[in-house]
A = this chain, B = another copy of it.
Amino acid sequence: MRFSKTFIKTLREAPKDETARNGALLTRAGYVHKEMAGVYDYLPLGLRVIDNIKGIIREELGKIGCEEIAMSTLQNPEPWEKTGRYSDQEVDIWFKTELSAGGELGLAPTHEEPVTEMMKSYISSYKDLPLYIYQFQTKFRNELRAKSGILRGREFLMKDLYSFHTSEEDLDRFYAEVEEAYRRIFERVGVGDSTYETFASGGIFSKYSHEFQTVLPVGEDTIYYNADKSIVLNKEVYNDEVLEDLGAKGEKFEETTAAEVGNIFKLNFKYSEPLGLKFIDEQNEQKTVYMGCYGIGVSRLMGVIAEKFADEKGLVWPESVAPFKYYLIGIGEKGMAEAEKFFAGREEMALFDDRDKRPGEKFADSELIGLPFRIVISDKTLAENEAEICERSTGKTWRVSLTELFEKF
Contact = CB atoms under 8 A, between A and B. Distances in A.
Contacts of A35: 71-72, 74-76, 114
Nearest to A11: B121
Interface residues of A, number: 57
B67 A143 contact: no
A138 interface: yes
Interface stretch (A41-49, A281-289, A383-391): A41-49
B140 A73 contact: yes
Given A36-B76, A76-B36, A144-B101, A69 B95 contact: no
Nearest to A38: B74
Interface in A33-89: 33, 35-37, 39-44, 47, 50, 65, 67-76
Contacts of A123: 7
Nearest to A65: B5
Contact of A41 (B43, B47, B71, B143): B71
Interface string A1-45: 000011111010000000000000000000001011101111110
A7 B44 contact: no
Contacts of A73: 73, 138, 140, 155
A277 to B, nearest CB: 13
Contact of A67 (B7, B41, B155): B7
Nearest to A43: B69
Contacts of A74: 35-36, 39, 140, 154-155
Contacts of A7: 67, 119, 122-123, 128, 131, 133
Interface centre among A35, A67, A131 (most CB of B within 10 A): A35
A97 B100 contact: no
Nearest to A124: B9
A201 interface: no
A72 B41 contact: yes
A100 B36 CA distance: 14
A138 to B, nearest CB: 6
B72 A155 contact: yes
A40 B390 CA distance: 49
A145 interface: yes
Contacts of A320: none
A118 interface: yes
A184 interface: no
A136 to B, nearest CB: 10
A67 B44 contact: yes
A58 to B, nearest CB: 12
A96 B145 CA distance: 20
Given A96-B97, A142-B100, A121 B33 contact: yes
A107 interface: yes
Contacts of A98: 95-96, 142
A344 interface: no
A99 interface: yes
Given A7-B133, A9-B122, A72-B155, 9 more contacts: A9-B128, A35-B76, A42-B69, A42-B70, A50-B70, A74-B154, A95-B97, A101-B143, A101-B145
26 contacts: A5-B65, A6-B67, A7-B122, A7-B123, A7-B128, A9-B121, A9-B128, A35-B72, A35-B75, A35-B114, A37-B101, A39-B72, A41-B69, A41-B71, A41-B72, A50-B70, A73-B73, A73-B155, A95-B98, A96-B97, A96-B98, A97-B97, A99-B142, A100-B142, A101-B144, A138-B138
